[in-house]
Amino acid sequence: MSQFKAASEPCWLYGKPAVDAVLRSVPEDFVVVEQLGFEPDGEGEHHFLYIRKRGENTDWVARQLANFCQVSPRDVAYAGKKDRHAVTEQWFSVHLPGNRAQLNWNLFGGDSIEVLRAVRHGRKLRLGALQGNRFMLRLRDVSDGAELARRAELVRAGVPNYFGEQRFGHHQGNIDKGLALLDGRLKERQRHKKGLYISGVRSWLFNRLLEQRIEQGLWSELLDGDVLMLNGRQSCFRYAGEPDVAQRLAAGEINLTGPLWGTGELMTQGSAQAFEQRVYAEQQPVCDQLCALGLKQERRALRLIPGALAIEQESDGQWRLEFDLPLRELCVWQSGAGAAADE
């Protein structure tokens, strides 16, 4: 357990930021706009609703939708959860089969919820069926605006694709429970909680490998037998000394990857495989227990490249950031009043 705890805070690629700021003094300081990636077809029994919410969590809105439509909560779906202490726009779907009367969606909501758009579709909304999210952050009480702008230029080239703190739960409790599940000290009947705890352990293992590549100067260095992934896609291939790969990696066209542990042999070969085996040697019993669950081994990109990053100073000590992917390397921020926890 202590080994997991000791290294659970990932290291910084560009060094810990020397900039302090306050984030989320009010929900409007953190705006998330969901990018669905496809257009509902306009026909079918599933009603797609594009909803803006303020200060509410996704599951609560889904329950309110089920009550409003007089359907089971299982008939309401969403593609992903969004922060509670924020203003977010996201899609929900409600299954309303048969010839039910058209509901007046303007009657749903209130001060904190608004239906922006309603359109039918032939299939329900699936978890993870997103192209991405657009973020807007307003940072207040920025201690050094020039340094913030300088670091923004650094992260345009990419940041470590760590799993964030939310994956690990309060005080990293998901890791503790995942380890307890693996060695039989904990029984969990609820399937989604069991998956959450096991995912916390796998995510920590991935973060550990990523951290080691940074600490050992291998963040952007190719090792013989490395597995690379096309940026923004899941297609992978193994590096075998091709002369153009280093250039493509530097250009952001492809990214190095690390394993999400499960059954099967490591996809890497040569020195890359030897490196991964060394990193995970101290956690081999945990890796073996994950394999015993039948989880399939997968790969995840080590680098996250923000899209359309924009930074603007709004006033003295106040800056606005916009980007298509979450960032971690800009500054050390503190939550404003009332923003102590997310979903």
Q: Which helix (H) or strand (E) holds 252?
A: none
Three-class SS state of 118: strand
Three-class SS state of 115: strand
83 in active site: yes
Q: In this structure, what are the phi and psi dihedrals at residue 310, rounded to the nearest 5 degrees?
A: -135, 140
d(CA 304, CA 157): 9
> What burial class does residue 11 get, using C-beta atoms within 10 Å of its C-beta: 0-12 exposed, 13-18 middle, 19+ buried?
middle
Three-class SS state of 71: coil
Which is the catalytic residue, given 29, 75, 83, 176? 83
Q: Are strands 227-230 and 254-260 parallel, antiparallel or unpaired?
A: antiparallel
Q: In this structure, what are the phi and psi dihedrals at residue 272, rounded to the nearest 5 degrees?
A: -65, -45
Report DSSP letters for 195-244, one per residue.
Answer: HHHHHHHHHHHHHHHHHHHHHTT-SS---TT-EEEETTS--EEE----TT
d(CA 86, CA 330): 20
Taking the chain, what is the end-to-end CA distance rounded to the nearest angstrom? 25
Percent helix, strand and coil across the chain, each to the nearest 5: 30, 25, 45
Q: What phi-psi label fits residue 169: left (phi over 0), alpha (psi between -120 and 50 degrees) or beta? A: left
Which residues form the catalytic set?
Answer: 83
